[in-house]
């Protein structure tokens, strides 16, 4: 069972009880849960969750199908290696915000990736109003080529339209 990991993806219209419904079925089936990201995006609720399970993919799907059907959720399973206890510590936090415009993520991500940024997590939100949407993105990662080159790139990215800020994450271990 040790290496029998799946990544379970769940998507559906947000409603109370999705997390409880899914995790209860997994528990009853004898699954062990690993790391997960669960978040409401727009009006949908999304789950990406590591699941360790003794049986095969079909059996796992069969155990989840009734609750998925009841709550109108889409499921997807991928076989993964499922490596735990192997976290990298981020050393930078970067915030980007500005008027919502197509291409903003691609531009920022491409430039920062070129400057050595390895993104560990990224969250973004479209805020503001319907008439004046604003895009806010926050990410954490590691500056593989050093922080200076990333800072230089960020200075160039910051314009009238977008603000990009870098904050060093200096972890205190006590």
Partner 1 sequence: MLEVLTIPDPRLKEISAPVEEFNAELRLFIAELEETMRASPGGVGIAASQVGSLQRIVIVDVSSKPDITHHGRLVLVNPEILAWEGMAKGREGCLSVPDYTGNVIRAKKIGLSAFDEYGKPVSYECEGYEARAIQHEVDHLDGILFLDRLVSRRTDLYKR
Structure tokens at 174: 């006590």
**Residue from 146, 39, 161, 144 nearest 100 by CA:** 161
Give the shortest CB-71-to-partner 1 separation in angstroms: 26
What is the distance between the alpha carbons of residues 138 and 17, in angstroms, rounded to a whole number? 28
Contact in structure between 25 and 69 (CB atoms under 8 Å):
no
**Residue from 163, 162, 171, 161 nearest 140 by CA:** 171
Contact in structure between 106 and 137 (CB atoms under 8 Å):
no
Pick 20 or 169: Cβ nearer partner 1? 169
Q: State the residue for tokens 């691609």.
A: 106
Binding mask 50-89 for partner 1 (x = CB under 8 A): -----------------------------------x-x-x
Binding mask 121-150 for partner 1 (x = CB under 8 A): x-x-x----------x-x-x----------
Pick 29 or 100: Cβ nearer partner 1? 100
Give the shortest CB-122-to-partner 1 separation in angstroms: 10
Judged by the rule CB under 8 A, the positions of this chain that interact with partner 1 are: 85, 87, 89-90, 93, 95, 121, 123, 125, 136, 138, 140, 169-174
């Amino acid at each position: 069972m040790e290496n029998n990991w799946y990544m379970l993806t769940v998507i559906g219209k947000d409603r109370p009880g999705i997390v409880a419904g899914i995790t209860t079925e997994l528990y009853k089936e004898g699954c062990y849960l690993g790391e997960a990201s669960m978040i409401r995006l727009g009006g949908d609720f999304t789950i990406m969750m590591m699941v360790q399970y003794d049986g095969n993919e079909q059996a796992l799907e069969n155990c989840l199908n009734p609750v998925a059907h009841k709550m109108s959720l889409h499921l997807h399973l991928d076989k993964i290696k499922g490596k735990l206890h192997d976290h990298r510590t981020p050393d930078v936090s970067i915030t980007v915000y500005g008027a919502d415009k197509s291409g903003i993520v691609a531009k920022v991500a491409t430039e920062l990736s070129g400057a050595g940024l390895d993104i560990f997590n990224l969250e973004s939100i479209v805020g503001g109003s319907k008439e004046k949407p604003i895009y806010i993105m926050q990410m954490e990662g590691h500056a593989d080529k050093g922080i200076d080159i990333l800072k230089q790139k960020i200075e160039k990215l910051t314009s009238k339209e977008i603000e990009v800020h870098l904050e060093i994450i200096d972890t205190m271990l006590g």
